[in-house]
């Protein structure tokens, strides 16, 4: 199986603050190591503030703004978690539309921890099986999804592939799965 992401551009969507740093930086590194080109997309230009759980961590430069770009500019999407990050994203119309556009275009998406809250808001959970931080299980069920307590879950539903994981401890399995699935997904024209 080819797991190279050479020539692929992967969007990482994060709010201006609240993203769990390791859930951003570890998959970012996995994409780079597989030859992909990660791009940080946020709700505003500038820098985002990451957190190590509840403590401020590093800041990261935003490359693109959700309301100014579309899914057609990327091959895949990663939604890092953190409790506040997806809560802020699901209140931003442009961020929600950005996420939904990946599903409409049949492009692969990966989400970890609390990130499926944004998927619920985008209306893309119905009929899918996914995992997340356990406290989201009721939200996922209410949105028509099936929640499972697994390290990583790959769901192929229609033209889309969705890779989900529960928490930072699951990052190695999450990264292996997202790189493998992103390598299989459609590629934008160079």
Q: How confident is the model at residue 95 (pLDDT cuts 50, 70, 90)?
A: very high
Verify whether residue 53 is a known catalytic residue.
Answer: no
Q: What is the pTM of this model?
A: 0.96
Interatomic CA distance for residues 39 and 182, integer angstroms? 15
Mean pLDDT for the chain overall: 95
The residue from 53, 113, 155, 157 that is catalytic is: 113
- Sheet order of strands, 55-61 included: 17-20, 47-52, 55-61
CB 39 within 8 A of CB 119: no
Domains located in the chain, CATH noted: 9-184 (3.40.50.880)
Verify whether residue 113 is a known catalytic residue.
Answer: yes
pLDDT over threshold 90, residue 187: no
The residue from 73, 114, 155, 157 that is catalytic is: 114
Give the chain's length: 190
Percent residues over pLDDT 90 in the chain: 92
Residue 3: per-residue pLDDT: 65
pLDDT over threshold 80, residue 147: yes
Q: How confident is the model at residue 159 (pLDDT cuts 50, 70, 90)?
A: confident
pLDDT over threshold 70, residue 48: yes
Bridge partners (DSSP) listed for residue 41: 13, 64
């Amino acid at each position: 199986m080819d797991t190279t992401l050479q020539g692929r551009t992967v969007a990482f969507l994060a709010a201006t603050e609240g993203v769990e740093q390791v859930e951003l930086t570890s998959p970012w590194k996995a994409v780079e190591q597989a030859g992909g080109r990660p791009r940080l997309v946020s709700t505003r230009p500038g820098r985002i503030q990451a957190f190590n759980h509840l403590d401020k961590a590093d800041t990261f430069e935003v490359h693109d703004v959700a309301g100014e770009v579309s899914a057609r500019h990327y091959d895949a999407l990663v939604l890092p978690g953190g409790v506040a990050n997806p809560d802020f994203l699901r209140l931003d119309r442009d961020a929600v539309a950005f996420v939904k556009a990946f599903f409409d275009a049949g492009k692969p998406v990966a989400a970890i921890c609390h990130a499926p809250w944004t998927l619920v808001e985008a209306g893309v959970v119905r009929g899918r099986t996914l995992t997340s931080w356990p406290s989201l299980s009721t939200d996922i069920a209410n949105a028509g999804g099936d929640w499972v307590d697994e390290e990583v879950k790959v769901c192929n539903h229609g033209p889309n592939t969705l890779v989900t994981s529960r928490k930072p401890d699951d990052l190695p399995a999450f990264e292996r799965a997202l790189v493998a699935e992103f390598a299989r997904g459609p590629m934008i024209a160079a």
